[in-house]
Chain A
Amino acid sequence: MSKINELFKKEISVVNVGLESFYNELKSQDVKAIHVDWRPPAFGNKKMSSLLSRLKSK
C-alpha cells in the first residue's frame, strides 16, 4: 500500500509550522497537533542564513 493510502487509514497527527491560528483550530477539533515556534533562520539575517545553509549542506 502506498504511503498516501496508508495515511488515509491513520489518525492525523500534525506538525504546524507558521500561522498559529491553524494550530488553534486543529486543537479546537481535538486533532493531534504540535506547533513549531518558527522564526526566520539566523535571526532574520539573510546573508548569515545563506552561509549557514551552505555549511549545513556540506
Chain B
Amino acid sequence: MGVNYEIRKNTYYDSVTLMLISKDISKIEGVNDAIVGMGTDLNKELAERIKMSNDEIKAIAANDFFISADLSDDSVWESVIGKLNELLNKKASENSMDYKPKSINSALTYQSDSNIAIISVPGEYAAAEARKALDEGLHVMLFSDNVSIKDEKDLKELAYEKGLLMMGPDCGTAIINNVPLAFANVVNKGDIGIVAASGTGTQEVSVIIDKLGKGVSQVIGTGGRDLKEEIGGISMMQGLDALIKDDATSVIVLISKPPALDISKKILEIASKSPKPVVVDFIGGDYDMIKSYGVYPSVTLEDAARKAVALSKGEKPVDFIGFSKSESEIESMVQNEVDRFDSKQKYIRGLYTGGTLTDEAMKMLGSDFGCIYSNIPLDPKCKLGDSSKSIKYTCIDLGDDEFTQGRPHPMIDPSTRAERLILEAEDETVAIILMDFVLGYGSNEDPVGEMIESIQFAKDNAKKRGQYLCVVGSICGTDKDPQNLIESQMKLEENDVIVMPSNAQAVRFVKKTIEKIG
C-alpha cells in the first residue's frame, strides 16, 4: 500500500487530455487518489500537498509527464499503468496521419493562408505564443487564462496597431464567419453581430437569437477583463467598430459585466454614434444611464436576444420580463411545486457551470431574500466562507478557478457538479435546485445525460425522507449543436425536471416559487 509513481521524460500532453485520463484512472477499483500531469510547478505543488510526491517527481520539468497514485493495494498498479497506456495509445492514434508542425512559424509554411490562431497553452507561455501569432499577421483567440494584465494590455495594443483582432486572454467563446470557436454553439447565420466580454452569456444570447428564428453575423469575444480600467476596452471598441463597418451586420449586441464607469461611457459614446441599432446588456448595469446614450439597454440576456431579434425584423423592441408560457400556466406550475414542499423547505441552490449565468441568476433574485451567497457574490458580504458548503440561498459558479484547479471545467467534466448536487439535496431546508446545461462545441458530449443519475439519486433521497426536491433547469443549446437538444430536454423532463426556455425564465420561475412558499 502507498504511493506508486512513474515518470516519462520529454513526453507532453495537453491539460484537458491529462485531466480526462486522470478521471478514468481515479475510477479504477483500488485507486484512492491519482494525479496525472506534466511536471509544472503547479502540478508538483499539488502532488506534494496531497502527499503523492517524492524527490524524483520534485526534480522533473514541465515537459516531463508523471503519474502518481495512492492505492489501497499495490497490485492495482499494473492495471493503472495498463489503463494509462491504453488511453495514451488511443490518443496517439487520433489524427496520427495529420502533419503537426512544432511552431506557429512552421504551421504557416504548411498552411500559408492561415488567418486566425487559437491559443490554449498554459498561461505562463500563452502571451509569448499570442505575440508570435500577431507578429505573423494572424488574428488571435487566446483561450488561456492566467495571463498578466500587463501582457494583456501589451498584446491588445500590438493587435490594435496591426489592425488585428485580439480576443482574450480568457476568451472562451467566438463565432467567426459562422464557425464556432472553442466553447460555442452552432447558430444560424444572420445579421446580428455580438461583441462580448462574457462566455456563457454570449452563448445564451446567440442560442436565443437562433431559437427565435434569426442568426448571427459574427460573435467576437474580448476576454473578461477587457472593460477594466487597466485595459480600457480596446477589444470591445475594435469589435464594435468592425461590426459597424460590416455589411452583413445590421444590429449589434454588446455584453459584459458592468464595466469601469469611464470605460462604459467610452463604449456607449461610440455605440451612440453607430448608424446601426445597438443593444447593450451590461449585466446589472445602470439601465437609465445606458438608455441615455440612445442605445437599447436590456434586463436579461434573453431580453438582449429578443430586442436584437425585434430590431433585426424592423420591430420596436420592448422589455421582456415574463415567460414564454401564459401567466396562468406558470401560476399553476408554481402552485403545483409549492404544494409538494414540506414546511422545512424554503431555500434554493443554484449549481451553475456558467459564470455569467450565475451572475444573472443572482442579479434577478435580487435582495428580497437577503444575501444570495456565492463564491462569486454580487455583494462581498455574501461571499461563502467555504465554497464547498452552501448557506440558505446560494448560487455557485462551479466553473470558477477554485473549482477548476487541476480539474476540467464542469462544462467538460460534470462530475464536480454531480457530486455537489447530491450534497445539496441532503439538506432538508432545500426546496429547489437551479441548473444550467450548456451544449455546443467544447462542452461535454452529453451534459444532461451525465447529470441524470445524480438528479435521480437526489430526488429519490428526498423522497425517502418524505420530501420533494424540485429541479429547475435551462438548456443553452441549439438543434444544430453536436449534442442532441431535443433528447436532452426529454431526458430532463422524463426525470421530473422543469425545463425553462432560458436562464432568465428559469430564475424568474424559481423566484416566484420561493416567494409563494413565503
- Whether the pair A39, B63 counts as a contact (CB closer than 8 A) is yes
Chain A, residues 5-31, CB within 8 Å of chain B (1/0): the string is 101101111111111111111111101
C-alpha gap A36/B98 in the complex (Å): 11
Interface size on A, residues (CB 8 A): 42
B212 to chain A, nearest CB (A): 23
Q: Which residues of B contact A5 (CB under 8 A)?
A: 242, 245-246
Q: Which residues of B contact A13 (CB under 8 A)?
A: 111, 113-116
Among the listed B15, B121, B128, B248, which residue makes an inter-chain contact with A53, where contact means beta carbons less than 8 Å apart?
A: B128
Among the listed A2, A17, A25, A31, which residue makes an inter-chain contact with B242, where contact means beta carbons less than 8 Å apart?
A: A2
Q: How many A-B residue pairs have CB under 8 A?
A: 164
B164 to chain A, nearest CB (A): 6
Stretch at the interface among B99-107, B284-292, B499-507: B99-107
**Does B31 have its Cβ within 8 Å of any Cβ on chain A?**
no
**Does B457 have its Cβ within 8 Å of any Cβ on chain A?**
no
Stretch at the interface among B22-30, B174-182, B294-302, B459-467: B174-182
Q: A5-B245, A34-B111 are in contact. Are A22 and B118 (CB under 8 A)?
A: yes
**Does A3 have its Cβ within 8 Å of any Cβ on chain B?**
yes
**Does B317 have its Cβ within 8 Å of any Cβ on chain A?**
no
C-alpha gap A42/B373 in the complex (Å): 45
Closest 5 pairs between A and B when the two form their complex, measured CB to CB:
A44-B62, A18-B120, A44-B63, A44-B61, A37-B100
C-alpha gap A46/B125 in the complex (Å): 10
- Whether the pair A38, B16 counts as a contact (CB closer than 8 A) is no
**Does B139 have its Cβ within 8 Å of any Cβ on chain A?**
yes
**Does B162 have its Cβ within 8 Å of any Cβ on chain A?**
yes
C-alpha gap A18/B141 in the complex (Å): 12
Interchain residue pairs with CB less than 8 A apart (21): A4-B139, A7-B177, A10-B177, A12-B115, A13-B115, A14-B117, A15-B118, A17-B118, A17-B129, A19-B15, A19-B143, A22-B118, A34-B114, A35-B100, A36-B101, A39-B63, A40-B63, A40-B125, A43-B63, A44-B63, A46-B62
Q: Which residues of A contact B176 (CB under 8 A)?
A: 7-8, 12
